[in-house]
Structure 1
Amino acid sequence: MRKKKLCLSRLLPVIAALLVLVMFRTVFILGYVPTNSMKPTLEAGSLILGVRIKGSFEVGDVVIFCHGGNLFVKRIAAVGGNVVMHNGINMSVPEGSYYMLGDNADDSYDSRYWDEPFVPVTTVVAKVWLPIGSR
Structure 2
Amino acid sequence: MHINFPLVLVIAVAVSGFLALLDLVLLAPRRRRAIASYEAQVDVADPQTIERLEKEPLLVEYGKSFFPVLAVVLVLRSFLVEPFQIPSGSMKPTLDVGDFILVNKFAYGIRLPVIDTKIIPVGEPQRGDVMVFRYPNDPTINYIKRVVGLPGDHIRYAGKQLYINGQKIEHELIEVIPDDEVPDGHPLQAVAKAEIFQEQLGEVSHLIRQKQLSQTPRPNEWVVPEGHYFMMGDNRDNSNDSRYWQSTEMPRELWGMVPDNYIVGKAFAVWMHWPEPKLSNLPSFSSVALIH
TM-score bracket for this pair, using the shorter chain length = 0.7 to 0.9
Report if the CA contact (8 A) 2:126-2:150 is conserved: yes
Larger deviation: 112-121 or 71-80? 112-121
Structure 1, unmatched stretches of 5+, are 1-13
Higher relative contact order (CA 8 A, sep 6+): 1
- Could you tell me which of 123, 128, 133 is aligned with 2:267? 128
Shift of 1:20: 4.9
Report if the CA contact (8 A) 2:78-2:105 is conserved: no
Shift of 1:19: 7.1
Within 2, Cα distance between the matches of 1:107 and 1:130?
Answer: 23
Q: Does 1:59 align with 2:198?
A: no
Within 2, Cα distance between the matches of 1:128 and 1:94?
Answer: 23
Offset from partner CA, 1:86-128 (integer Å, 9 cap, x none)? 6634321011110000001122111112422311011110100
Within 1, Cα distance between the matches of 2:235 and 2:85?
Answer: 16
Paired position in structure 1 for 2:172: none
Task: Work out the percentage of aligned pairs sharing the same amino acid.
Answer: 34
Root-mean-square deviation over aligned CA pairs = 2.1
* Structure with the greater alpha carbon radius of gyration: 2
Q: Does 1:85 align with 2:224?
A: no
Equivalent AA in structure 1 for residue 259 of structure 2:
P
- Could you tell me which of 138, 143, 153 is aligned with 1:72? 143
Report if the CA contact (8 A) 2:156-2:219 is conserved: yes
Within 1, Cα distance between the matches of 2:228 and 2:78?
Answer: 25
Aligned length: 122
Structure with a larger share of its residues in strand: 1
Structure 2, unmatched stretches of 5+, are 1-65, 110-122, 158-217, 247-253, 275-292
Equivalent AA in structure 1 for residue 269 of structure 2:
L
TM-score for both structures, normalised by structure 1? 0.79
TM-score for both structures, normalised by structure 2? 0.39
Matches within 5 A, 1:1-135: 20-21=72-73, 22-53=75-106, 54=109, 55-67=123-135, 68-69=137-138, 70-85=141-156, 88-115=219-246, 116=254, 117-135=256-274
Runs of 4+ residues over 4 Å off in structure 1: 16-20
